[in-house]
């Protein structure tokens, strides 16, 4: 039985190790904007399970999934899952856009999600501060602070993503126009070569 359990544990460890290797490989080959977004997603994800507030009198510590936080953690978790899908799966993302006819670009959805997470966090922050009327000793935890930081990283990464895509588009248009102008110029030179008389015929007899 020990051999079987050890074998299963070994297989599980190998699978986990393989997943981490793939994630690290994908992360290293991401663009600068995608890395900033990925860092923001990781910070936001771990912040959801951190301490958002503490009630000293009742020895209560709450996360983003608690009743006092309005269960906002589930909404933010859904947004983070959507952003992870948007960041790591190009083929499935394009298939989904084609099926549902989604009109918005990637950077628009990233910036919108980052701002939404930031606003939701600020709302819960103000709500927790309002609990002072009911609880005398209530403190804000680090989880809510890091959630704001993660949302800022996501929004900033969305803006960098927009700038990168804009530069790529301008570069592509420039190359296409350069090739088109070069081909037109070659056709024009060829046309002039056909219409020009032979230089030897233009010489005057001596």
Q: 22 in a domain, yes or no?
A: no
Q: Is the pLDDT of residue 127 over 70?
A: yes
Read off the pLDDT band of 3 (50, 70, 90): low
Domain carrying residue 168: 31-195
Does residue 130 have a pLDDT over 70?
A: yes
Question: Cα 164 to the chain's mean position, in Å?
Answer: 13
Nearest partner of 42 among 87, 74, 96, judged by Cα: 87
pLDDT of 118 above 50:
yes
How far is residue 80's CA from residue 170's CA, in Å, rounded to a whole number? Answer: 30
Interval 104-130 mean pLDDT: 88
Q: Where residue 159 sits, what CATH number does that domain have?
A: 1.20.140
Would you say residue 22 has pLDDT above 70?
A: no
Q: Please, which pLDDT band fits residue 5 given cuts at 50, 70 and 90?
A: low
Our count of domains for the chain comes to 1
Whether 141 is covered by a domain: the verdict is yes
- Give domain status of residue 21, yes or no: no
Q: Phi and psi at residue 71, in whole multiples of 5°?
A: 55, 30
* Separation of alpha carbons 59 and 138, rounded Å: 10
Number of Cα atoms under 13 Å in the Cβ half of residue 172: 6
**Would residue 201 count as lying in a domain?**
no
DSSP 198: P
Mean pLDDT of the chain: 77
Look up the pTM and report it: 0.69
What's the pLDDT at 206? Answer: 46
């Amino acid at each position: 039985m020990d051999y079987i359990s050890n074998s299963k544990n070994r297989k599980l460890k190998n699978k986990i190790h393989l997943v981490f290797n793939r994630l690290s490989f994908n992360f290293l080959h991401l663009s600068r904007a995608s890395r900033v977004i990925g860092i923001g997603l990781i910070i936001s994800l771990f912040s959801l399970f951190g301490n958002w507030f503490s009630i000293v009198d009742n020895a209560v510590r709450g996360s983003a999934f608690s009743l006092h936080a309005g269960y906002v953690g589930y909404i933010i978790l859904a947004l983070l899952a959507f952003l992870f899908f948007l960041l790591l799966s190009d083929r499935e993302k394009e298939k989904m856009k084609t099926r549902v006819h989604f009109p918005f670009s990637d950077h628009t959805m990233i910036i919108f999600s980052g701002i939404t997470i930031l606003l939701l966090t600020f709302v819960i922050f103000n709500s927790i501060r309002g609990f002072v009327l009911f609880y005398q000793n209530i403190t804000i935890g680090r989880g809510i602070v890091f959630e704001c930081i993660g949302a800022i990283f996501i929004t900033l990464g969305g803006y960098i993503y927009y700038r990168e895509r804009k530069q790529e588009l301008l570069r592509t248009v420039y190359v296409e126009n350069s090739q088109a102008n070069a081909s037109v110029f070659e056709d024009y030179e060829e046309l002039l070569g056909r219409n020009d008389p032979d230089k030897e015929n233009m010489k005057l007899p001596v």
